[in-house]
Amino acid sequence: MSSLTDRERATILFQKEPEEYPLIEGSIVYRKSFFQQLFYTIFILLLITVVLYFAVTIGVVKKGMNRETLQHQMAMNRMAVNLIPPSGFLTEQAAQKYSETLIDGTDARMTIINREGSVLSDTSEDKDSMDNHFFRPEIQMAFRDGWGSSTRYSSTVSMMMLYTAVYDDRNDIVIRLSQSIDHIQDDLDRIYEQILFIFIVVLILGGILTVLIARRLSATMSSVKDVAGEFAQGNFGVELDVSGSREAISLTRSINAMGRQLQDKINTITYQKNELLGMLNSMREPVVLLNHRLEVKEMNPAALAMLEPGDGLSYLGKGILQVMKSVETCELAEKTLKTGEPQEAIIHYQDKDVYLQINADALFRDEDTPPTVLLVMNDITNIKKLEIMRKDFVANVSHELKTPVTSIMGYAETLRSGALEYPEKAKEFVEIMFRQTRNLSALIDDLLTLSRIEDGRRRFHKESFSLGDLLSSAVSLCQQKAGDKNTVIEVECAPGCQLSAHPVLLEQAVTNLIENAVKYSLPDKTVRVRGYYKESHICIEVKDQGFGIPEKDLERIFERFYRVDKARSREMGGTGLGLSIVKHISQIHGGRVTVQSREGEGCIFTIMLPGDEPAELEE
């Protein structure tokens, strides 16, 4: 535990806010006082409130005046429609006379428009010089809804105009009235002047009230600041005078009580701070804090995620053995608690098949307080599994290489020992050595291919090509082996099937499947190769009529060097890597490979790659 004085501990918790900060020699920057901050805050809030209030008021008044004007003009408009003779207007002159008579003595303008948008009459302009009005907003609305309105600037009279239109269904015409709304703005200007005067008066009165409130509160806060400054210097005996308003009295009493309690709480706060810092510094890894009885005191989210799903609070207070279910972890914590020295161990949790590297540290408070134990865990499961895979891979490669090499060395030794004197035997031995060398070369080629595919740094260029062409090419590569067994290879592909992939790699994957199908099919049988669309995928299916694969081997069939029948596979020249190559080629294209098989009924291998069916094929 750190040996801090009372003054230093208090300084950690209470930092006095200095009133001035020297920036450069000869210059000092002053912060705003509490009075200024409080005054500005209250005054700005008051200003915002008043502005919003008057803004809303102006908006309501303006909206009401506009609505009243619109209602008045619409009433005039509907009256004009109702006054139209039932027989309508027999001539355009009659319509013009009707319009002029109706608006006589007003400043309104009336326009009559027919269904085609042509102007039949207008009281302000020559109807023959006016363009078609069908696409005016108010006209469109009137023909559609029975009435319409629009407010816009008129370039003819150079002022804002309100247009209202009402549809006369008896004569299939629209009566439109237009009137200047500049008088509304004049009325609003007078209202604005009155509101501005009231606004200034309210603002002045509010400013005076704000000054009074800010002065009273700042006086109390000034006293609180002085006492807090004494606390920051380690002088906890200073107290405030209990006076003023009820809230001020409550505040001063609380501060006085706080000063008396600070001395007792600083030690606890310092220790808890060390605990929390230890937890926070290790948040990326699972962290568990244990008390001296090895019970869980705290744990971070990573530790909770590692344990069984449940409420994190349910683990608090439980023993580490009950929580982690590991005797090794419990022993590690006990050793750390006894020795007080950091400990490290790698522990395998078999229930979850997880390897954890655990670092344990003891946290001390003082001589009279038992230490706690901090466990920091690092999941190294992937590293361990990679080590196991590497060992298995090296062992398998060594075994696969040793078999042909041993055979070649044996026959070579036999030839060197005198078998060359027997030409027939020598020829037989050379043929065997050639086959073993060919198998060895195929194994090395497959290893190199698999290494290139698994290299995450390599980028394979994709091309767009026909699936049918790829299947035909792959089948042609396998025709000779199929002919040797009198096996027929049938190819079927959906028309127009295009895909984007690495053509060489995908051809190798398909070739591997076809070669396996030919290799493990019985003589005089048929291997079927299909290409088709299924559920947003392009599928390549290879079906044989061979021995089939036992169900227990299906899950491992794509592992490196895994063979269902090792003797038969080696006899037929298999390397044990063909299906693994197919799997990895499918994966780098964003797809997968599946197998269906029953023993004695053959196998169906399917490569599924992302790809949508063309629209013309779907139709």
The model carries a pTM of 0.42
The CA distances from residue 372 to 3, 281, 399, 513, in Å, are 19, 17, 52, 61
CATH number of domain containing 555: 3.30.565.10
User: What b-and-e string marks burial along 522-541, b requiring 16 or more CB atoms within 10 Å of the CB?
Assistant: eeebebbbbbbbeeebbbbb
| Tokens encoding 498 | 């295009």
Check residue 67 and report its DSSP letter.
Answer: H
| Tokens encoding 129 | 């010089």
One domain, residues 167 and 238: no
One domain, residues 366 and 317: yes
CATH number of domain containing 120: 3.30.450.20
One domain, residues 510 and 416: no
Q: Is residue 583 part of a domain?
A: yes
| Tokens encoding 92 | 């355009």
- For residues 452 and 446, give the distance between their C-alpha atoms in angstroms, rounded to a whole number: 10
Residue 471 and residue 529 in contact, taking contact as beta carbons nearer than 8 Å: yes
One domain, residues 373 and 515: no
Q: In what order do the strands lie in the sheet with 173-180?
A: 119-122, 109-114, 173-180, 159-168, 147-154
Last residue of a domain, one of 144, 165, 180: 180
Residues (pLDDT < 50) of the chain are: 1-30, 567, 616-619
Q: Is residue 48 part of a domain?
A: no
- For residues 563 and 443, give the distance between their C-alpha atoms in angstroms, rounded to a whole number: 14
Q: For the segment 341-393, what is each residue's pLDDT rounded down to a tens digit?
A: 999 998 888 777 788 888 999 988 777 788 899 988 888 888 877 777 666 66
Strands 526-533 and 488-493: parallel
One domain, residues 255 and 328: no
As for how many domains the chain has, the answer is 5
One domain, residues 465 and 611: yes
- Domain extent, residue 409, equals 385-450
Q: Determine the pLDDT at residue 27.
A: 41
One domain, residues 440 and 514: no
One domain, residues 472 and 592: yes
One domain, residues 417 and 503: no
Longest Cα–Cα distance in the chain: 138
Check residue 521 and report its DSSP letter.
Answer: B
Q: Is residue 188 part of a domain?
A: no
Residue 478 and residue 439 in contact, taking contact as beta carbons nearer than 8 Å: no
One domain, residues 172 and 251: no
Last residue of a domain, one of 394, 426, 450: 450
One domain, residues 257 and 367: no
Q: Is residue 314 part of a domain?
A: yes
Helix (H, G, I), strand (E, B) or coil at 499: strand
One domain, residues 267 and 320: no
The secondary structure of 78-141 as a DSSP string is HHHHHTS-TT--SSHHHHHHHHHHHTTTSS-EEEEEETTS-EEEESSS-GGGS---TTSHHHHH
Q: Is residue 75 part of a domain?
A: no
- For residues 206 and 412, give the distance between their C-alpha atoms in angstroms, rounded to a whole number: 111
Q: Determine the pLDDT at residue 11.
A: 43
Q: Is residue 192 part of a domain?
A: no
Q: Is residue 151 part of a domain?
A: yes
| Tokens encoding 455 | 């290299």
Q: Is residue 43 part of a domain?
A: no
Last residue of a domain, one of 398, 423, 450: 450
Backbone angles phi, psi at 397, to 5 degrees: -60, -45
Q: Determine the pLDDT at residue 540.
A: 92
